[in-house]
Amino acid sequence: MNSSTTILEFVGIGKVEIPKYGPVDYWTREVPFAVFILSFCSFAIFLQILVMRVFLIDQEMKKLPAFQLMLLISIFDTIQLFIHLTAVFYLLDSRIHLQIPDFLIGAIMNSSWVVMLLLSILLNFNRISSIVLHFYSSTIFSRNMMLFYLSFIIFIWIIIFMMNIIGLSQMVYLFPAYTWHYLADKPYSALLRTISADISLIDVLFSLLAHALIFSYIQIKAALLSKREFTLTIQVLCISIFHILGYITWEYLPIPWELPIGVFLGHFVWMLWNSINPILYLFINPRIRRALLNQLVPPKNKNLTTIRSNNSRKIGLG
């Protein structure tokens, strides 16, 4: 690594000397990292789009609030995956970028990350209302309430986006850290970072509480869930487990942050966070899996499609 003349201060990190990599570091580390990000995120975006299409074309799924929330989460996850792709340019260019397009990219990433966490909390609440508070579920997640939740999510997204755009807080890609960080010289950067971390913690704690309530209710009431509700609950449980593992990895596991590979693995958790949901859906829910396979390999005739559709209705959404 050669000497550098650029020093920037980031929230939670302190002053960072921006390096200038020599040919060995560039070709043996930075370029392979960029190729990996390009390959991984491209595949993840492709999978997200296929699953979102299933949510949109399946007549029963798109009516259910749980799948509507999953669709919204997938949308904001996909937005973040597209932003992750911009890291390929930053790594290959190996320079810090502090121009309007870079602030715009950081604003989209920042706002999409926060609202994705809020939607995850709302999805867990949907599972509580559908099972523990099932008498009130149709009211809590009525069409009007879903529009209210969506409006609130969009409002939060716009607020965070505008705070980044007008310079109250700014998140930029710090290529030596392989991720986005908040510039310390902006008045609300530290506040937004704290809020983001707190929402992530609330997401983890609320998911633990939600599933403790759900499975306690099932045990105490000896409740029998329909196959659809059981499959949905297991899907959300698996998503929550990954969120918990991701949070523990960032906060408590002994990742070697002083090494480039350690820093990159820490950021890989973020990319995996944005891409794990469709993998879990396909693994757990056979209806989603069949619908996706039909997109890739359409049935040879309509009669076969009709038979599969009828069989799916008989066994429910699971």
pLDDT in tens, 258-305: 778 888 888 899 999 999 999 999 999 888 888 888 888 876 655 545
Structure tokens that stand for 236 in this block? 């959300």
What are the backbone angles phi and psi of residue 137, rounded to the nearest 5°?
-60, -40
| pLDDT band, residue 225 (cuts 50/70/90) | confident
Q: What is the mean pLDDT of the segment spanning 51-66?
A: 89
Average pLDDT in the chain:
87
pTM: 0.88
Q: Which of 17, 16, 35, 38 is nearest to 26 (CA)?
A: 35
Structure tokens that stand for 222 in this block? 């000896």
* Residue 317, pLDDT score: 43
Domains of the chain in start order, with CATH, are 7-277 (1.20.1070.10)
Checking if the pLDDT of 2 tops 50, the result is no
Q: What is the mean pLDDT of the segment spanning 161-180?
A: 91
Which element (helix H / strand E) includes 193? helix 189-221
